[in-house]
Amino acid sequence: MEKTGMTGAIGGKPDMGACTSARRGWRELLVFALAPGIVCALTLASWLLRQAGAGYLSTGFALTAVFLGGWQRFLAGFRDAARRRITVNVFVTVAIFVTLAAGEFLPAAVIILIMAVVGALEGYTLDSTRRSIRGLLDLTPPVANVRRDGAEVPVPAAELRKGDIVIVRPGERIPVDGVVEAGASAVNQAPVTGESMPVEKSKGHAVFAGTLNEDGRLEILTTKAGEDTTLARIVHLVEEAQESKAPVQGVADRFTTWFFPTVLILAVAGYLVSGEMKIAVAILLVACPCAFAIATPSAVAAGIANMARRAVLIKGGIFFELAGRIDTLVVDKTGTMTLGRPKVMAVVCGAGATETEVVSLAAAAEKYSEHPLAKAVTAFASERGLVSPEPDGFRAEAGKGVAASCGGSELVVGKETYLVERGIAIPALLQKAAADQAELGRTVIMVARGREAVGLLSVADEVKAGTAEAIGALKSMGVSRILMLTGDDRRIAAAVAAQIGVEEFRAGLLPEEKRAAVGELRKKGAVVAMVGDGINDAPALALADVGIAMVGAGVDAAIEASDVALMDGDLSRLVEFMQMSRKVLRRIKLNIFFSIVYNVVGLALALLGHLTPVMAVIFQEAGCVTVVVSSILLLRARVPGLRAADRTAPRALAPALTKA
């Protein structure tokens, strides 16, 4: 089957997407229907002329059918032979030319017809593994409304450029990757991130091409268009991966190399013993290892397509095989195991103060601070429905805290040392609570009113929901060692490791130290998978046997360095990937078993003279169809994953592919 690439499918030139789709449709019609139809007509005409006694005309029509239907195989066979490579095409070429040399012109035409029909069926079936991925490109609207000179102007999507302001109304699909400039809406991002629920978008939020704007008007500043969008890059990655070989494919290649001379010897022996050239031809045809050749690539292509629909992008078949042998998992912390943003974890009140009072005072003092911890405090107050009063004055001291006046009282919020510097008394109860929270790896924010501290808030990076369950599932699947590497403080690393169920960790590491740790594990013979999300993880991702990027919080460097991308930043997708890798490997082995059985049984029947050349081809092609159908079942294969209740992690977006 002809390979169809995605380059130029969208963007680049006006109407390129439409042209490519149209060309693809006509090409598939030619390959899947027209070519076998012509060969069928020529073969039928050859048979009718033969019955009528027009021998020369019959031979001419038969030869036309043979070369029209088989010229691509013959050309590939000659090229492979010239390169001293024994392939399936060499097998077919030799078998057909031996058939013609024996004067069996009509049988040769029938053989080519059968191969053409079955080849068209295989091509059509295998193409279904790509159709769902290619179809994603059709989600991008061909025309976008762009604001220019104060007016909305319809512009072909292929002509959109970085910096354009695109207007998207309710019910329309977003044509570009960009950032919301104005408006608010719920956006269905399932094609890109795999999220089942729409995500609320407002000013400053990233959006992706091909996603559906459900209920509001959005004005989007274009950051990427055409082939640079997240959606287009997903399709390119998947198509490139589907063309790659898994290492187990080398078994098929080696098998063909020694099997061909063996079959030639058997064919010669069959002819010498029986004196029948038809037996030799049948042996050559039935032994053609077509099914063996497609056993691996068909299963790999189906597995990659299946995982792509689950928001897992795999860059090559080799990673299915490697994933089945992973015994050591190395994980980053921030943005990978955690959400990468601070959150208030606990509130401790001093004598006479209430929790509501402590939170309200802290939020009032931090109201105008831009510090991430301040934002965590104000967000926590908002979540609890508290309305913080307006401070009369505000002053921030970098690295220490803030001071403000509110309702006639002086408020001081910040580090314990900051309060001590200002002569504020800290009760023993709060001192002990601060020490306890620090032991948990949390950052403590003291809250004082007047000359005495009234409470504290502890802040930490929140662990992603479902992470502990995913770690447990990976252990149960045979990952014997899980190591967390982080550049963060040791106490924080220890707290996160304990929370997610990881016994081993290393803290305070630089990027080169993470890479060295992965290299050290590999030198000891471990098969290492590395999960990371940022620039600092890229060196380790590149060195690992399988580099896995958590795209939900990452950057381009992590994506490019990785072998597998979890598009929604959910660790449970890694569990699904490893389960699918095992299914793919089992299916490859099953396919190889089917192909060997067909070859062995067919050879036995041919040697005994029970197969004509035409019957031999039918038998051999039946093996191909069996293998293809077996592989296609992987498209709908389910992997257990984690329980739905365990997979409640907040779905991060995928800015990794949208940053310039």
Our count of domains for the chain comes to 3
472 and 324: one domain?
Answer: yes
CATH code assigned at 147: 2.70.150.10
Comparing 255 with 452, the larger pLDDT belongs to: 452
Please indicate whether residue 545 is annotated as part of the active site: no
Residues paired with residue 452 on neighbouring β-strands, in sequence order: 425, 449
**Given 228, 254, 272, which residue is the final one in a domain?**
228
**Given 580, 604, 625, which residue is the final one in a domain?**
580
Q: Which of 564, 576, 586, 582 is nearest to 638 (CA)?
A: 576
pLDDT of amino acid 179: 93
Taking residues 526-553, what's their average pLDDT?
Answer: 79
Element (H, E) at 7: none
Residue 534 lies in a domain: yes
Residue 70 lies in a domain: no
Comparing 437 with 370, the larger pLDDT belongs to: 437
C-beta separation of 46 from 67 below 8 A:
no
324 and 399: one domain?
Answer: no
**Given 528, 560, 580, which residue is the final one in a domain?**
580
Question: d(Cα 290, Cα 114) in Å, to the nearest integer?
Answer: 13
Q: Would you state the structure tokens that stand for residue 480, as one six-digit string? A: 């014997």
Element (H, E) at 207: strand 206-207
Q: Is 396 helix (H, G, I), strand (E, B) or coil?
A: strand
423 and 470: one domain?
Answer: no
Query: What pTM value is reported for the model?
Result: 0.62
468 and 550: one domain?
Answer: yes
pLDDT of amino acid 195: 46
pLDDT(595) > 60: yes
Question: d(Cα 551, Cα 331) in Å, to the nearest integer?
Answer: 14
DSSP category for residue 173:
B
pLDDT(125) > 60: no
pLDDT(220) > 80: yes
CATH code assigned at 439: 3.40.1110.10
Question: d(Cα 262, Cα 563) in Å, to the nearest integer?
Answer: 39
- Catalytic choice (127, 177, 228, 332): 332
Question: d(Cα 110, Cα 152) in Å, to the nearest integer?
Answer: 61
315 and 366: one domain?
Answer: no
C-beta separation of 501 from 301 below 8 A:
no
pLDDT of amino acid 375: 85
- C-alpha distances (whole Å) from 294 to each of 75, 76, 253, 254, 442 are 19, 16, 11, 14, 55
In angstroms, how far is the first alpha carbon of the chain from the final one? Answer: 37
pLDDT of amino acid 654: 33
Residue 379 lies in a domain: yes
Residue 36 lies in a domain: no
Pick from 186-190, 231-235, 445-449: least confident = 231-235
Residue 601 lies in a domain: no
pLDDT of amino acid 446: 94
Taking residues 489-506, what's their average pLDDT?
Answer: 87
φ, ψ of residue 172 to 5 degrees: the values are -95, 155
pLDDT of amino acid 121: 58
Is residue 651 left, alpha or beta, with left meaning phi > 0 and alpha meaning psi from -120 to 50?
beta
Containing structural domain, residue 397: 339-463
Residues 6 or more apart in contact with residue 172 via CB below 8 angstroms = 141, 212, 213
196 and 224: one domain?
Answer: yes
DSSP category for residue 181:
E
Q: Would you state the structure tokens that stand for residue 283, as one six-digit string? A: 């042996």
457 and 540: one domain?
Answer: no
Pick from 473-477, 575-579, 613-617: least confident = 613-617
475 and 458: one domain?
Answer: no
- C-alpha distances (whole Å) from 426 to each of 411, 418, 429, 453, 589 are 14, 11, 8, 5, 69
Q: Is 415 helix (H, G, I), strand (E, B) or coil?
A: coil
Strand pairing of 401-406 and 409-414? antiparallel
Q: What is the pLDDT of residues 621-655, one digit of tens each?
A: 788 888 888 888 888 887 765 544 344 333 332 33
pLDDT of amino acid 276: 80
Encoded amino acid at 641, one letter: G
Q: Other CB atoms closer than 10 Å to residue 51's CB: what's the count?
A: 9
pLDDT of amino acid 558: 55
Q: Would you state the structure tokens that stand for residue 124, as one six-digit string? A: 């059509």
Q: What is the pLDDT of residues 24-66, one digit of tens each?
A: 444 444 544 555 666 677 767 777 776 676 667 777 777 787 7
451 and 345: one domain?
Answer: yes
The mean of the pLDDT values for the chain is 77
Residue 135 lies in a domain: no
φ, ψ of residue 461 to 5 degrees: the values are -75, 125
Which of the four pLDDT bands, split at 50, 70 and 90, describes residue 18? very low
Q: Which residue has the tokens 């508290």?
A: 386
pLDDT of amino acid 284: 78
pLDDT(541) > 90: no
Within 503-626, strands assigned E span: 504-506, 528-532, 546-550, 564-566
pLDDT of amino acid 251: 56
Which of the four pLDDT bands, split at 50, 70 and 90, describes residue 359? very high
Which of the four pLDDT bands, split at 50, 70 and 90, describes residue 114? low
φ, ψ of residue 558 to 5 degrees: the values are -65, -40
Residues 6 or more apart in contact with residue 440 via CB below 8 angstroms = 458, 460, 491, 495
Taking residues 282-305, what's their average pLDDT?
Answer: 80
399 and 476: one domain?
Answer: no
Cα four-point dihedral sign 576, 582, 583, 585 = positive
Q: What is the pLDDT of residues 241-268, one digit of tens each?
A: 445 444 444 555 566 667 777 877 888 8
Residues 6 or more apart in contact with residue 279 via CB below 8 angstroms = 270, 271, 606, 607, 609
Residue 288 lies in a domain: no
Exposed, middle or buried by CB within 10 Å (0-12, 13-18, 19+), for 146? buried
pLDDT of amino acid 338: 84
364 and 411: one domain?
Answer: yes
370 and 398: one domain?
Answer: yes
Taking residues 518-528, what's their average pLDDT?
Answer: 91
Element (H, E) at 236: helix 230-242
Q: Would you state the structure tokens that stand for residue 606, as one six-digit string? A: 């041919």
pLDDT(577) > 70: yes
CA triplet 364, 368, 374: central angle to 5 degrees? 75
pLDDT(479) > 70: yes
Total count of residues recorded for the chain: 660
pLDDT(161) > 80: yes
Encoded amino acid at 564, one letter: V
Q: Would you state the structure tokens that stand for residue 493, as one six-digit string? A: 């690393």
Strand pairing of 528-532 and 546-550? parallel
Residue 33 lies in a domain: no
CATH code assigned at 570: 3.40.50.1000
pLDDT of amino acid 447: 93
